[in-house]
Structure formats: C-alpha cells, structure tokens
Structure 1
C-alpha cells in the first residue's frame, strides 16, 4: 500500500508531462498556428515600421510642436504591440476552441481525464509558445524600426533587451488569458469579442470622461495594467504591480475555464 501511495505523485507527474507533450504536438500540427504566427510577424513589422516613419516625419516637418525628439527602439516595439497582440490572442484561444469546434476535445479528455490537468497543460504550452513568439515579434519589430529611425532612434542595450523581454512576458500572459476565456466561452468569435472589450473598449470608455474614480477602475483592467508594465510606469502604480495585475487576470481566466470544463459536458 505504501509503495502504491509513494508512486502516485510520480504517475501524476508523468501523466502531466505526457499531456504537455500531447498539447505541444497538437499546437504545432495545425495550420492555424503557423498562420497566426505569420500574421503576428507581418503586423509587428508593419506597425513598427509605420511608427518609426511617424517619429522621423514628426521630427523633420516644419511644426516643432509635434517633435518627439530621439525615441528609444524599445518604445517603438512596445507601441507596436497594441495591434500585434490580437494575432497572439488568436493563437491562445484557438488552442482550445478548435477542439470544441471539431469535437476532438472529447478524445483529449478521454486521454487525460483530469480537466484541470488538460487546461493547465494547454496553458503551459500556450504560455511557452507565446513567450517565444513574443521574443521573435519584438526582435522583428526592432530590426524593422531601427534603420528607419536612423539618427532619431536610440537603442541602449540593457533597455532594449528589457523591453523585448517585457513584450514577451506580456504576450505570454495575454495568450494564457485568451486560453482561459476560450475554455469558458467555447467560441473563438465570442472570446475574441470579450477580449477586445476587456483589453481596449471598456478601459477607454472609463477613461474618456477623465474622472479619477473611473480612471482608477480602468487601471485595474488587464490591457491598461499591461501597458503600465510595458512602459515601466511608476504612476498610478509601479510596473511590477501592472505585471501582477495582468498575471491575476490570466489566473482568474484559467480558473473560470477550469470551472466551466468541470461543470459542462465536452
């Protein structure tokens, strides 16, 4: 009896590793993964190039009022994330909604009966892939923007590397957030709509009247918190608090998805 009990954690760990391996294989075996990655790369390259052109044009036009001066490469990459993140969100949510659509989620749950284990394995894979993708996207954005900025760009090594890592961390967390919501909502379109509202529409609506209480509420939303983290802000709270808030949103989304998976049939 003691031998069986002692082996249970090992078996559970082995089962989880197998689930992670299976999710990794599934993610890379579907074309949507590659298409969303390509879309992200194109969006990042276009956004970074466009923002760099804007910075150069503003500095060289006849109106000194709009001159941004020398801008850091990292700031251009960070600003480019606002649009690019939606390709990463699509990657995160499609990791599970595609299985609901095709019905293969039943096979997944038969192979790994623990529904929480399935979602956690998906989160590990989605978070890892979107972090690596974030590094690639930020690197591409930097490579595109740097020659365009020319004399109007600055690229301090430590700051640029830090910004690239911050972008990767942000995209990994919003990817997991998308996965958790998708597990609860089961629809790619509905999940993307909710994400768009949560990350952008609702916070902007709260900030529009410029009322302090509403601004503070908006600061707690994941997109705004992530923006404070990426910008390295100290107000209204330190950047690390923004990171923690975003992590909390991702964790809450996973908890919601886990509850939905356990409560409903596949």
Structure 2
C-alpha cells in the first residue's frame, strides 16, 4: 500500500480561490444555506443559547433586586429612584455577552478542532465567500436570539422592580434592538478572531482582554490620554452606544461605528490568515 496517499495535502488559499472559487459552493446563497444548516446541527449553538437565556434571567433579576433594595434601605445616598427596565437590560449585557459571543467563535473554531474545515473549503474554495457566509449567519442568529434574550430580561426585571421601575414602550423596544445589534457585532468579532486564532481558548482570552481587562487597566490611572484610548475599545464603545450617555466622549452612533469597525477588522484578520495558512 502506498502510504503517500495518506499524507495531508497542502491547501493554498489564494490558489484555491482562483482555481475554483467561481465554480464550487453554489455562490454566496449556497454558502449561507450550508452555514445555516451547520449552525443548527452543532449542540454548542443550543447550549450557548440556553446559557444566554439563563444568564439574562439571572442577571436582570439580580440588578433589578439591587435597584429596588437600594431605594428601600436606610441610606438615601444609595437611592437610584425609579429606573427604566431598559437600563437593567443594558446593565446585564456585560455578563451575558460571553454566552452570545460563544456562538460566533464556535461557528469556526469547532471546524478547526474537528477537521471539518477541510470539507467546508472544498465546498466553498473562496475564503472570502466562506467567511462572509459565516458572518451573515452568525450575525442573523445572534441578532434574532438577542431579541429573545432582551424580551426575557424585560419580562424578568419588570415585576422585580415593582414601583421602582417603568416600562416606556418605545424606549424599551429601542433598548432591546440596540442590545441585539451589539450582540450581533460582538458575535461577528468573535467569528473573525476565531478564523485568525483557530482556538476557542485563545479567542475567549483575547475577547476577555479586549472587552474588559485592557480598558479597565487603561482607565485605572485616570489619565485623560489613556481614558480616550480605552474609549476606542469595542466593549467601551458598545457601552457608549447602548447607554447613549450625553456625557460620553462621543455620540452613540460613533460608538456603534467603532464597534462595527472592530468586527470588520477581525473579519479581515481572519480572512488574511485563512488565505495564508493551511486548513
């Protein structure tokens, strides 16, 4: 038996795109359909969604309890007064986002771990088309799922707040959509990093550093220049987008653009690695 046939074949990303990118994979629509099927065929998607639901319910309830208790304790300095349910929802994002971004990173790191990235690249040799299809699916799934997460947060927080909460319909819907938009972009950011780093552990570490540790470290000395640098990081920019704080260093729309820029940069980095390295 000739063992040479068992050796792995080197895959050149750019060569594959030029040779078969226009002939294999059914175009972008076919690639999206394939990624959609794969997304719902892996158990990690369902586990991440379940974890997100539980985290949202628990976090929203906890923050609502804190707000209600602060208004009824013996220290009037703690009283936040009547708060919107949307503010409780936005406060829950910092923790819940880690369940949601797992959907994005596992959409590609699971393929590198299992080796199924090779058949994916044979079906869709164009690295750009493959990654774009994954981004479309991850964005759509995380956005839709996050609308449901938002509804869960609102449903849990409102009765817990009682007289200390208000639920303006238009504002609450806007907050839910804003949270879903933030989660979708964070999911795409995780996808891009997953394509570049190819390891769920490395991606989680990079996201934890980028979303939380580095910005906190920059703002700790209370130096204006470092504060402005921290304001450009995705988690901080997303926070300014969600809260639309008039005292923020830039408008909410700028925060959204900064977050989208991080997601686009991560996808570009992932595409660059996919084109240069073997599957």
TM-score using structure 2 length: 0.90
SS of structure 1 residue aligned to 2:228: helix
**Which of 228-237 and 52-61 deviates more?**
228-237
| Equivalent-residue separation in structure 2 for 1:165 and 1:233 (angstroms) | 17
Select which of 194, 204, 213 maps to 2:225: 213
In the other structure, the counterpart of 1:252 is 265
Q: How does 1:1-266 map to 2 (within 5 A)?
A: 14-234=26-246, 235-266=248-279
| Equivalent-residue separation in structure 2 for 1:91 and 1:15 (angstroms) | 24
Unaligned 5+ segments in structure 2 are 1-21
| Equivalent-residue separation in structure 1 for 2:43 and 2:24 (angstroms) | 31
Residues 165-220 of structure 1, C-alpha deviations (whole Å, 9 max, x = no match): 00000000000000000000000000000000000000000001111000000000
| Equivalent-residue separation in structure 2 for 1:27 and 1:124 (angstroms) | 11
SS of structure 1 residue aligned to 2:36: helix
Residues 143-170 of structure 1, C-alpha deviations (whole Å, 9 max, x = no match): 0000000100011111100000000000
RMSD, matched Cα: 1.3
| Equivalent-residue separation in structure 2 for 1:106 and 1:162 (angstroms) | 41
Q: By how many angstroms is 1:233 displaced? A: 2.2
TM-score using structure 1 length: 0.95
Q: Which 4+ runs in 1 deviate beyond 6 A?
A: 10-13
- Cα gap change, 1:30/1:64 in structure 2, threshold over 3 Å: closer, same or farther? same
Unaligned 5+ segments in structure 1 are 1-9
Q: How many pairs were matched up?
A: 257
